[in-house]
Structure 1
Amino acid sequence: MTSKFVRLAGLCGILLAAGQTAPGATPKEIDRAIKAGADHLKTRYNQKPGQGFNGVNEASYGIGPTCLSGLALLEAGTPVDDPAIKTITTLVRDASYTQTQTYQISLSIMYLDRLGDPGDAAIIQMLAARLIVGQTANGGWTYQCIQQVSAETATYLKNSLQQVRLTAGENGKPPKLNADVEKYGQALVAARNQAGATGLSDDNSNTQFAVMAVWMSRKHGAPVEETLDLIEKRFMGAQDQRTGNWPYSGGAGSSGIAPAGSPAMYCAGLLGMATGLARREERRQKADNPAPKQDPAKPNKPNDPFYNPPAGKDPPKKPQARPADARDIVVQRAVAGLGLTIIDQIRAGRGLLVANGGAHGHGDLYFLWSLERVGVTYGLEKIGDIDWYDIGSTALVRSQGADGSWSFGGSYGAEVNTSFAILFLCRSNLARDLSNKVQKDPTSTEMKAGTGPVATDLLPNRPTTPVSATVPVVNLPNPTGDEAIARASLLLKASSSDWAKLLTESRDAKGPIHTRALVVTATHADGDRKAAAREALAERLCRMTPVSLRTMLKASEAELRRGAAVACAMKDDKEHIPDLIDLIADADDSVVRAAKAGLKSLSGKDFGPISGATAAQKTAAATAWRDWYTKQKK
């Protein structure tokens, strides 16, 4: 039975993916969506400031949305000399001298870094100085980074920095810290010290934006090593040991238990940990490839083979993975928890994007961009065995407005949501030097390839439902005293502690009553319980004879037909292929998806149909499957 359970897990993965917004968005559809979204954003910045400019009102909303729009447009391929980009650049540069909020400072750095103009390095250093001072003793940030910037200070900084072009060091080293920025940073530190301790109030939403900005400012000469030390310490110490997640604010403490964070907080912690992995890789590379010692008596002569003998013919050795250290364990635990959370969302029918307005970090576009940054930074094609980009991009393409915008989800507004969506669709890799170092490190190869410890091994105590969740009580009408309905009612009303026991009993006990009880339970349950009841039913039906299964494939209850289809595939008997082909034209989409998943599992082929197919499309797909099967028998 163990091998059948493993096979069921694979089938569940196929069904989860197929049960979302399949068919997946095509590359052409994604490209069209990106272009339409970019065109929408351009309309907000198609006039110069002071000439009827219709972009964001910076006094009301800050420069953050403008920075996000600029990032999205650049990632969508908009050239730097486009009028919209020119307008955004002017706005961001002018506003940078007065920014005091963590989000605005961070996004200004991210935009100017992505713009790639060396003339902005001193401005980036100035903004980074504010982030350095605004970091709390806990290693995070809150909304207010520094106190109000006086008009005198802003004017001084603008006059001092706007014409400065810093020169990069040798061998790609960052430029030196600008003298005026250094004095300004010292003044910020003095002002902070005079005001007292920085405090401990912070949150991981502000922090994840600051983390990216701090890392980006590093290559522009900002002195951020101690800041990065605190970031690593923060996320190493505040992870919830049960779920692998981090709280929105505060730490886990000695118990390892913290208030539950949103799915986006997994991403915030993983981005923070990425900076630790990248710097570890830098240290290892330096240790593995030390600079050659020079003999004073034999000065180096670049073109003299006596002093510089040619390299040997042996190719460089492939770096060997080292034993996972504490950083790797934290990252693997978080990736496992994020994967399980994604699967939970899909099973509950929520998917990755809640079109009617997901809460902050829960199924909104803020979460999608957080997820995209993690996937790109770590080089993960799948998270939790789910193709996060395929599902996310399909949801975005299908939910785009006629004007090219995305205007739902959270309270961010159309401009911010549209920027988040474009950045996701573009798979924007804003910190390439970070992702290159993280992915170069061979230590976490198993985690990236999905061949390391399974999620349940990493998180054995993970709650199967949110701590605050309540189980709905379902009262099934049972005027005849049907034993199967009575058993299903017990299951549906069971407490969390009794649910697993009762479900196992119904899965393993003899008699048709328990089969029908699981069918009724699967029909009326939802979320995790529906998925568990379906799994138990399929496992139970695996014990049935081929004759019994064929009878169940024609049953009136859709859940029984679906369970029988999954069981046919689990039995790994290709004689059931004709039975599954017959279900391709079933009226119930869940049955069709199960039959298709089973056929793909048994044959390695895919002749459709798409999810939500019409009756004609189902018939055509069934014909294609039969034609293929007929050829195989010859």
Structure 2
Amino acid sequence: MLLLLAGPKFMALAADEAAVEAGRLKGIEYLKSKQEADGSWVYEGHSVGITALCTLALIENGVPLYDPVVDKGYKRVRKGVDGELKQTYDLTLAALLLARVGDRADKALIRTIGARLLAGQLESGGWSYTCPAVDATSLASSARGTKRKAGDGDNSCTQFGVLGLWVCSRYGVSIDEAMQLVAARFVDSQNEDGGWTYNPKGTKTDSTGSMTSAGLFCLTVARATKIRQELQKAPAVRGSATAKGAEKATLLGDPIYSKGFTQVGYYAKSMSPGSARYFMWSVERLGVLLGLEKLGDVKWFDQGSTALLKSQKPDGSWPDSKESPADTAFAILFLRKANLGSDISRLLEGEPEQAFCIPAREGTPRFATLQEAITSAQPGETIRIDGNGPFRCQNDLFKQDLTLTAGFGYAPVLEYAVGYDATGLRYRPERDAVAQALFTVESGTVTLEGLRLQMDPPAGSNTIPWRILQVNGGKLRLLNCALSEGTKRGIVAISSNGTGEIVIKNSLLSTSATAIQLNMTGDESVTIDNSVIFATKGIDVAGKGLLSLLLSASAIHTAEGITAEKFTGEIHSKAMHCVFKCDSLGSTFLTADASNTGRTWEGRNNVYNVGKWVGAKGKPAVQVKDPASFSKFFDGGDVDPSKLTISFVNSRRPGTSTHGLNSQEWDLSEKSELAFSAKKYGILAAITGPGGGFSRFREEISYNQWIKGETPLSVAELEPLAKN
């Protein structure tokens, strides 16, 4: 599985992007076709490892977490880790998969893997094929010092041990001492040619490409561990040497590293159709980790992708001497340029002095403030934010198509502050409407991705109609955002005046007042997918027109679900796989207490944990008492509704917003009647919210649809809404 195969001299021409995409898709379909009925893939002696590798390769190539093949693979690996898993390869691949899925319930399993990998490290700093089957309780003794067994291990197992420990360190496993030993191992065992071999203390053999890549990877992780340790002691100031990417330059300039880097460039140039896919994956992982287009003087991706496409078989696979899917998994990971250590890359690069940039423009210009970037941006451009902040924003106004997106690995916090008008005078929120919102959208399509928008107005201003986002025209699209207030000031998350469109996907709206307030003068549409609405009122509608409301795979946790007391138009609602935990679903939703005139409600597989159903002017419609009568009231439009007790992971009362809320708190508790249902209800927490949720979603195929302006729905893709 892990041997370097030599190949003939090969001259590469850059592979066409469409050809690479086609190769990846064929590889995806091949891997899917080879899954066993129990969710596993086959590789003798490494059932958990190969299953984790194949599932990870599918996820990294954009197959969503809710895909049945991915779900079965993940559950099979999770079950395997629960047992006596000892193999170093399998432990690391399992940790990679569990971390990639991001289920909060897997933290204990990942820490157990970390404990086993720590226990398996040898005195030489390396690993062999197996680790002791300890549990997470051994981490306490590891913190006081670990007694390691003698032995050399090998550099292939060692690079997996290092990768696995880095993943586990994100979950509180201390690896500082372990990485010091790793660094010493590779410094001491470098060959004269700058490379490394499989067994550093055994019979002297020539360096190999896969092991040289492994050596550089391990030294990179060891350096990243040291940087992180230093930052924890004294956090870096934005604009310091670290922030300017000096760490990567220092690493590349180190004599040991530089010598190995020269050698790996030589190996990268040799990639050909006959090269081992494990070797090519090792090259890819290093190139992506360092953010380099070239290794030595070769464009490693062009060289490798061309070679891979030439060797791909008609069925989508790559040749493997053991007829396992491992080579196909490694190949599509290469073609995807999957970065399994993006946080390492960010540590090496550091946080730039100027966090706001326009990446598509020549030279990638940077700006000190968001306001400067918005002023410079042309219609349709994207502003990327490379930093966590917090950044003080001053009532920015959007009048054109524009996207604000989080840089890879960041979850920027954008805070409200009172800004200045064109003459330089400070706004007065009690008078100036623009100062009553964090951002105001006047026209165009404004897209916000992976951001935390936080609002805490000045003290003594309770009578001002505060809102985080104000939409006066155009279209607002939110992806993996979190809108919140930290004080109970009656803030509205999104307020819209007039007509337009609002799309909310993978996001959390949390305020003490109303999540979405619509003051309509004409037709408007609101789409909410895989999101959490946590507020006193969910959606409040006023004015006139036609409201088209689509709710998909979302958690509506409010005192009042939908209110329309001051609305004279029509509301057409669709809901699929949502959970409603409301004191009242809509006490003023109807125009008359016994009529559905001007109101429709259709959907399927929704769960209602509500005290009261729907009514008019606070008076309930007496004929609506349960899910069946609710569906009947709307002419049978709600298919298979149910009323069950909904228990979320954390129990909160609507209206108790804080900035520290996490969308995973609205994952269904194991105590819930829904937790073990065969059907999917509510949110898929792993891809919800900024940070990790956004990082996971932007790797899915669905993200490509999103950036084209489409709105892929989490459940509708698998189970379309029936037409009535």
- In the superposition, the TM-score normalised over structure 2's length comes to 0.43
The answer to which structure has the higher helix fraction is: 1
The answer to which structure has the higher strand fraction is: 2
